[in-house]
């Protein structure tokens, strides 16, 4: 394979972009940028450099490669702010190879120095001036066994200077000030090593291990159920909450259940595909296996979380979402704060659906079942009781019966006890919601502490407050200012069925795409 073909194969393509480094610069700034650029972007030619052994012959081959493949062209001007001005630009090796194949001494220097650096040889940058008190030229010098080997390809192109030589004499070096701008061409993502990926895998496995294993218990893995099987599972739990069982159902009811299972064989949960692109700056060899393991770890964490969410966590967070169980008639008569919080809670639930935790009906069914098991009464009865808690208990019981409860004063008393329990545990309920989000964020993306605090505040402000439901029968007017926040509970949601999340790392990994079909 020719060195040109090897370069095409191994040097990554740059992302678009020109970044202004400094408007009023001097030659010392140029030297500093060249030095910083070849060190920062050396990873771009790491694989490419393997074509050149760290010998004099290897340096000669690199010198000839640059001479043959790049044209010397002085910087003529980029166009910041739409106006063409004379500027100096330093190209990354990737940008120079894939986009221009030309440049002046600065970009030649960065390409050569970065490659020599990856060959394992020390390299210095030499800034010189000829017949002038100003510096006007820069080139790299490799150190091989303590011997300086100049690699001035521009000298070769302009005056046929031989490999390993430099133009003499050199005059006194001084700074020179220019107007216009100093730019770096070819922005790239940060370098990611295999060690970084292994650390990511350990991080995600730790998250997966921290989630209780409800996959192998409590009726098995619900993510493997068909829609009919999941509905039947929900029905069984609801019956159990009422002290009944599937076996006690009449024969015709059991036949209906069997037909429902047979007619709904599609998967209860949309299959989630996890695609982890190779991060920019990572050598492909040896990385794919780690990326596959990362994808498997995310799937494992999500499967465990979906199980614990439906089997346990909806019991804890259902009180937060109580407003979603209001009937349309109750909601129409409710205060503006209630309707606003209802809308916020609905948006949070939609985010859960997008994250693959099930459909709205599945999640609400789990909440209702677990709420009944926890408090001994349905969410609808608690809401009806809160609306009518200052009325006579008989009226409360009638309201409860009308809303689908068992009816009667005893159930109303139980609802009042549940309301009292919820009032005493408001902070625990909001904390439970926060815990759910923290687990999701740990699996999918990283947020800073300020984001987490803002999100927690938003959740707290939008929790179901049963005191807001009192005396709203007949449509009560708003009695005070709305103190809830407009802050969205979760942002950066992708359109469609999936979400675009980032791995919980600070290493600039490429996005994970969770695509549900």
Both 44 and 179 in a single domain? yes
Report pLDDT for 69.
95
Report pLDDT for 36.
84
Give me the mean pLDDT over the 442-471 stretch.
64
Both 257 and 275 in a single domain? no
Report pLDDT for 484.
34
Report pLDDT for 428.
86
Q: Comparing 16 with 128, which gets the higher pLDDT?
A: 128
> Could you list the residue range(s) of the whole structural domain that residue 32 is in?
3-185
The C-alpha atoms of residue 432 and residue 318 are separated, in whole angstroms, by 10
**Does the pLDDT at position 507 exceed 80?**
no
* Residues 87-114 pLDDT 10s: 788 899 999 999 889 999 999 999 999 9
Minimum mean pLDDT range among 144-158, 289-303, 373-387: 289-303
Alpha-helical (H) ranges within 388-478 are 393-402, 409-424, 426-444, 449-461
Both 214 and 175 in a single domain? no
Both 510 and 377 in a single domain? yes
The C-alpha atoms of residue 365 and residue 238 are separated, in whole angstroms, by 9
Both 231 and 335 in a single domain? no
Both 16 and 164 in a single domain? yes
Q: What confidence category does residue 244 fall into, taking pLDDT thresholds of 50, 70 and 90? A: confident
Residue finishing a domain among 128, 159, 185: 185
Both 149 and 298 in a single domain? no
Q: Are 183 and 20 in contact (CB under 8 A)?
A: yes
The C-alpha atoms of residue 283 and residue 193 are separated, in whole angstroms, by 8
* Residues 274-304 pLDDT 10s: 666 665 545 444 566 777 888 888 888 888 9
Report pLDDT for 194.
64
Q: What confidence category does residue 392 fall into, taking pLDDT thresholds of 50, 70 and 90? A: very low
- 232 phi and psi, to 5 degrees? -65, -35
Eight-state DSSP code of residue 226: B
Give the number of other Cβ atoms within 10 Å of residue 36's Cβ.
Answer: 14
Report pLDDT for 16.
64
**Does the pLDDT at position 12 exceed 60?**
yes
Burial class (CB in 10 A: 0-12, 13-18, 19+), 255: exposed
**Does the pLDDT at position 180 exceed 70?**
no
Give me the mean pLDDT over the 313-334 stretch.
90
Helix or strand holding residue 316 (H, E): helix 314-317
The mean pLDDT of the chain is 75
Both 273 and 255 in a single domain? no
Report pLDDT for 472.
54
Residue finishing a domain among 214, 240, 266: 266
- Whole-angstrom CA distances from 400 to 405, 414, 419 are 5, 11, 14
Q: What confidence category does residue 493 fall into, taking pLDDT thresholds of 50, 70 and 90? A: very low
Residue 331: which of 468, 168, 210, 186 has the closest Cα? 468
Burial class (CB in 10 A: 0-12, 13-18, 19+), 295: middle
Total domains in the fold of the chain: 3
Give me the mean pLDDT over the 211-224 stretch.
86
Q: What confidence category does residue 84 fall into, taking pLDDT thresholds of 50, 70 and 90? A: low
Q: CATH code at 150?
A: 3.10.620.30
Task: Collect all residues with Cβ–Cβ distance below 8 Å to 56 and sequence separation of at least 6.
Answer: 144, 149, 164
* Residues 154-175 pLDDT 10s: 999 999 999 999 888 766 554 3
Helix or strand holding residue 38 (H, E): helix 27-40
Q: Are strands 512-516 and 272-275 parallel, antiparallel or unpaired?
A: antiparallel
The C-alpha atoms of residue 155 and residue 133 are separated, in whole angstroms, by 19
Minimum mean pLDDT range among 219-223, 242-246, 339-343, 403-407: 403-407
Report pLDDT for 186.
56
Q: Give bridge partners of residue 379 from the DSSP assignment.
A: none
Both 133 and 48 in a single domain? yes
Give me the mean pLDDT over the 260-284 stretch.
72
Alpha-helical (H) ranges within 336-425 are 336-354, 360-375, 379-387, 393-402, 409-424
Both 211 and 248 in a single domain? no
Both 136 and 219 in a single domain? no
Both 473 and 430 in a single domain? yes
Side-chain-facing half-sphere of 338: CA atoms under 13 Å: 29
The C-alpha atoms of residue 226 and residue 65 are separated, in whole angstroms, by 61
- Whole-angstrom CA distances from 126 to 57, 138, 379, 486 are 22, 5, 77, 58
The C-alpha atoms of residue 328 and residue 345 are separated, in whole angstroms, by 15
What SS3 state is found at 493? Answer: coil
């Amino acid at each position: 394979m020719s060195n040109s073909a090897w370069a095409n194969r191994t040097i990554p393509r740059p992302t678009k972009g020109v970044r202004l480094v400094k408007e009023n610069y001097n030659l010392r700034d140029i030297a500093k940028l060249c030095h910083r650029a070849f060190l920062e972007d050396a990873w771009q030619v790491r694989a490419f450099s393997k074509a050149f052994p760290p010998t004099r012959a290897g340096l000669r081959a690199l010198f000839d490669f640059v001479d043959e493949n790049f044209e010397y062209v002085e910087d003529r001007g980029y166009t910041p702010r739409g106006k063409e001005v004379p500027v100096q630009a330093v190209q990354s090796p990737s940008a120079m190879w894939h986009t221009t194949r030309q440049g002046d001494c600065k970009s030649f220097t960065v390409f050569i120095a970065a490659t020599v650096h990856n060959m394992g040889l020390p390299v210095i940058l030499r800034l010189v001036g000829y017949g002038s008190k100003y510096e006007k030229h820069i080139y790299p010098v490799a150190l091989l066994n303590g011997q300086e080997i100049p690699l001035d390809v521009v000298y070769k192109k302009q005056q046929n200077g031989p490999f390993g030589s430099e133009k003499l004499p050199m005059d006194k070096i001084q700074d020179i000030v220019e107007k216009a701008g100093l730019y770096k061409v070819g922005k790239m993502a940060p370098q990611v090593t295999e060690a970084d990926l292994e650390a990511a895998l350990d991080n995600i496995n730790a998250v997966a291990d921290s989630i209780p294993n409800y996959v192998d218990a409590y009726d098995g893995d619900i993510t493997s159920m068909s829609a009919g099987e999941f509905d039947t599972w929900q029905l069984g739990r609801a019956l159990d909450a009422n002290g009944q069982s599937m076996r006690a159902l009449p024969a015709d009811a059991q036949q209906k259940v069997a037909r429902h299972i047979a007619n709904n064989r599609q998967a209860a949960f949309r299959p989630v595909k996890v695609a982890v692109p190779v991060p920019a700056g990572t050598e492909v060899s040896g990385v794919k296996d780690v990326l596959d393991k990362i994808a498997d770890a995310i799937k494992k964490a999500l499967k465990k979380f979906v199980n614990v969410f439906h089997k346990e966590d909806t019991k804890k967070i259902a009180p937060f979402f109580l407003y979603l169980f209001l009937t349309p008639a109750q909601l129409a008569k409710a205060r503006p704060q209630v309707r606003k919080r209802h809308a916020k809670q609905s948006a949070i639930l939609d985010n859960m659906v997008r994250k693959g935790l099930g459909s709205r009906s599945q999640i609400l069914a789990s909440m209702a079942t677990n709420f009944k098991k926890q408090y001994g009464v349905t969410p609808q009865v608690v809401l009806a009781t809160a609306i009518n808690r200052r009325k006579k208990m008989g009226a409360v019981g009638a309201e409860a019966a009308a809303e689908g409860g068992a009816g009667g004063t005893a159930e109303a008393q139980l609802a009042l006890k549940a309301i009292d329990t919820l009032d005493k545990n408001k902070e625990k309920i909001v904390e439970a919601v926060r815990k759910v989000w923290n687990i999701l964020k740990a699996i999918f993306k990283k947020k800073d502490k300020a984001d987490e605090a803002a999100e927690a505040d938003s959740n707290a402000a939008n929790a179901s407050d049963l005191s807001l439901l009192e005396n709203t029968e007949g449509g009560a007017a708003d009695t005070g200012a709305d103190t809830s926040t407009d802050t969205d509970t979760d942002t950066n949601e992708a359109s469609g069925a999936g979400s675009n999340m980032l791995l919980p790392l600070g290493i600039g990994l490429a996005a994970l795409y969770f695509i549900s079909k």
